[in-house]
Amino acid sequence: MVGIALLGAGIFAREQHLPAIESVPSLSLKAIYSRSESSANTLASAASSPVDVYYDVPTGSGEANVWPEEKTLDALLARTDIDAVVIALPILAQPAVIEKALKAGKHVLSEKPVAKDVEEAKRLVGFYEALDNKKPLWAVAENFRYTPSLLKAAEKVKEIGGKLTTFRLNMNGWVEEGNKYFKTEWRKVPSYQGGFLLDGGVHFIAGLRLLLSELNQEITHVAGFSALLEERLLPVDTVHAVALTNDGKSGTISISFGTQFKTGLEVEVVTTQGSVYWNPTQIKTKTKEGEKTEEFEKSTGVKEEMAAFAKAIEKGQIEKEQTPEEALKDLEVVQRLLESGEGKGIVKAVEA
């Protein structure tokens, strides 16, 4: 059994990470950490077995640095029965905790995006590479790469084969004022680029990149325009762009969180041998032999990615799908889209 701790007690930790950890037989949840004692206790009460809680601010104190020393994050990371941690904290808070956990010798699965920007992500990767040869494993969570329907779509792209002709990514969403994610303070007034376009955009880019990779294609350049359609979704909520691959093939990327009357996610890859269309619950394959449609149950892929992390610990090696380098590539595409939008369509190279 691998002793594991969950660092963060927010929405995704509660609804996805906790049940995912408990679904993996080789993982044993030992502790939960949150900034506040109350949120840590709330999540701990939802666990199927008793867990210890750690926090920064005791209930009722209103102040940091006035809690028992044995309840600090450092105390949690000093425990010898905890081998790994899952980090699900706000984007700006994660890097310092990732470093602290790795220095403590704990295997880490940290939530996407890998960092707030490419510069910080590269610094983190450099920090990890500089650790000694006995360093723990560091994986970055990207549950889209473990979604069963998307993995099946990738198989279909590989089966059809041929050379890439074009591709498209369309994601239209509407973030209501009462949306549970919007109501978190750090998302209401984001202190990082892109707002929801960064936080959610890396998911969609990861999905597109997964399908393109089956044809040995990577996005190398982007040029687009961005906008703020809904004033509360700062700093921008929409980007429409053209993207170029290493073989010089172009496609489109359209992501918006401010389109109230048109919502949905779809990715399509077209080759000289056919096409594969994907949305989270459906795959449509078209070739000279005809069309085929397959239906799927909606899945987040979080349980599958947690199982992959546990397997990586057992094997001593992270799967490519969870490497920080892959997460960095997702992040850079999103950042270059945002930069291109700021520059009114200027072409930006993707170099990661």
> 258 and 295 share a domain?
yes
> 137 and 148 share a domain?
no
> 255 and 173 share a domain?
yes
pLDDT level of residue 67 (50, 70, 90 thresholds): low
> 37 and 110 share a domain?
yes
Would you say residue 177 has pLDDT above 60? yes
Confidence (pLDDT) at 60: 54
Residue 323 covered by a domain:
no
Q: Concatenate the DSSP letters of all residues of 126-172 into one string.
A: HHHHHS-TTPPPEEE--GGGG-HHHHHHHHHHHHH-S-EEEEEEEEE
- What's the CA gap between 223 and 348, in Å, rounded? 6
Average pLDDT for residues 31-43, to the nearest whole number?
94
User: Contact, 212 vs 167, CB < 8 A?
Assistant: yes
**Which domain CATH number covers 150?**
3.30.360.10
> 189 and 223 share a domain?
yes
Residue 324 covered by a domain:
no
Mean pLDDT of the chain: 95
User: Of 152, 156, 94, 160, which is closest to residue 124 (Cα–Cα)?
Assistant: 94
Task: Identify which has the larger pLDDT, 215 or 262.
Answer: 215
Average pLDDT for residues 291-298, to the nearest whole number?
97
User: Contact, 327 vs 114, CB < 8 A?
Assistant: yes
Task: Identify which has the larger pLDDT, 195 or 185.
Answer: 195
CB burial of residue 349 (10 Å; 0-12, 13-18, 19+)? exposed
User: Of 275, 304, 295, 250, which is closest to residue 156 (Cα–Cα)?
Assistant: 275
> 246 and 129 share a domain?
no
> 82 and 170 share a domain?
no
Residue 36 covered by a domain:
yes
Confidence (pLDDT) at 59: 61
> 104 and 162 share a domain?
no
- What's the CA gap between 256 and 240, in Å, rounded? 8
Would you say residue 135 has pLDDT above 80? yes
Would you say residue 38 has pLDDT above 70? yes
Helices 94-103/118-130 angle, 10° precision: 0
- The DSSP secondary-structure symbol of 54 reads E
Task: Identify which has the larger pLDDT, 289 or 134.
Answer: 289
- Phi-psi region for residue 188, left (φ > 0), alpha (ψ -120 to 50) or beta? alpha
Confidence (pLDDT) at 263: 93
Secondary-structure breakdown of the chain: helix, strand, coil percentages, each rounded to the nearest 5: 35, 25, 35
Q: Sheet harboring 348-349: ordered strands across?
A: 290-295, 282-287, 274-279, 264-271, 164-172, 250-256, 238-245, 219-227, 348-349
Confidence (pLDDT) at 78: 97
Confidence (pLDDT) at 134: 87
Would you say residue 65 has pLDDT above 70? no
The lowest-confidence range among 5-19, 51-65, 225-239, 325-339 is: 51-65
- The DSSP secondary-structure symbol of 15 reads I
User: Contact, 143 vs 151, CB < 8 A?
Assistant: no
Q: How many structural domains does the chain have? A: 2
Would you say residue 237 has pLDDT above 90? yes
Residue 56 covered by a domain:
yes
Would you say residue 301 has pLDDT above 60? yes
Average pLDDT for residues 160-171, to the nearest whole number?
98
Residue 14 covered by a domain:
yes
- What's the CA gap between 312 and 109, in Å, rounded? 11
Would you say residue 217 has pLDDT above 60? yes
Single-letter residue type at 63: E
Q: Cβ of 180: how many Cβ atoms within 10 Å?
A: 10
pTM: 0.94
Would you say residue 106 has pLDDT above 60? yes
**Which domain CATH number covers 81?**
3.40.50.720
Would you say residue 64 has pLDDT above 90? no
Residue 325 covered by a domain:
no
User: Of 97, 174, 112, which is closest to residue 333 (Cα–Cα)?
Assistant: 112
Residue with tokens 């980090």: 87
Would you say residue 8 has pLDDT above 90? yes
Structural domain boundaries, residue 152: 144-299+331-349
- Cα separations in angstroms, 152 against 10, 137, 140, 180, 202: 31, 28, 22, 30, 20
- Phi-psi region for residue 321, left (φ > 0), alpha (ψ -120 to 50) or beta? alpha
Confidence (pLDDT) at 187: 87
> 105 and 73 share a domain?
yes
Do the strands 164-172 and 264-271 form a parallel or antiparallel pair, or are they unpaired? antiparallel
User: Contact, 184 vs 337, CB < 8 A?
Assistant: no
Would you say residue 186 has pLDDT above 70? yes
Confidence (pLDDT) at 25: 98
pLDDT level of residue 118 (50, 70, 90 thresholds): very high
> 240 and 336 share a domain?
yes
Integer distance in angstroms from the first to the last C-alpha of the chain?
A: 36
Residue 270 covered by a domain:
yes
To the nearest whole percent, how much of the chain has pLDDT over 90?
89
Would you say residue 214 has pLDDT above 80? yes
> 314 and 335 share a domain?
no
> 111 and 128 share a domain?
yes
pLDDT level of residue 121 (50, 70, 90 thresholds): very high
Confidence (pLDDT) at 185: 81
- The DSSP secondary-structure symbol of 217 reads -
Would you say residue 107 has pLDDT above 60? yes
pLDDT level of residue 68 (50, 70, 90 thresholds): low
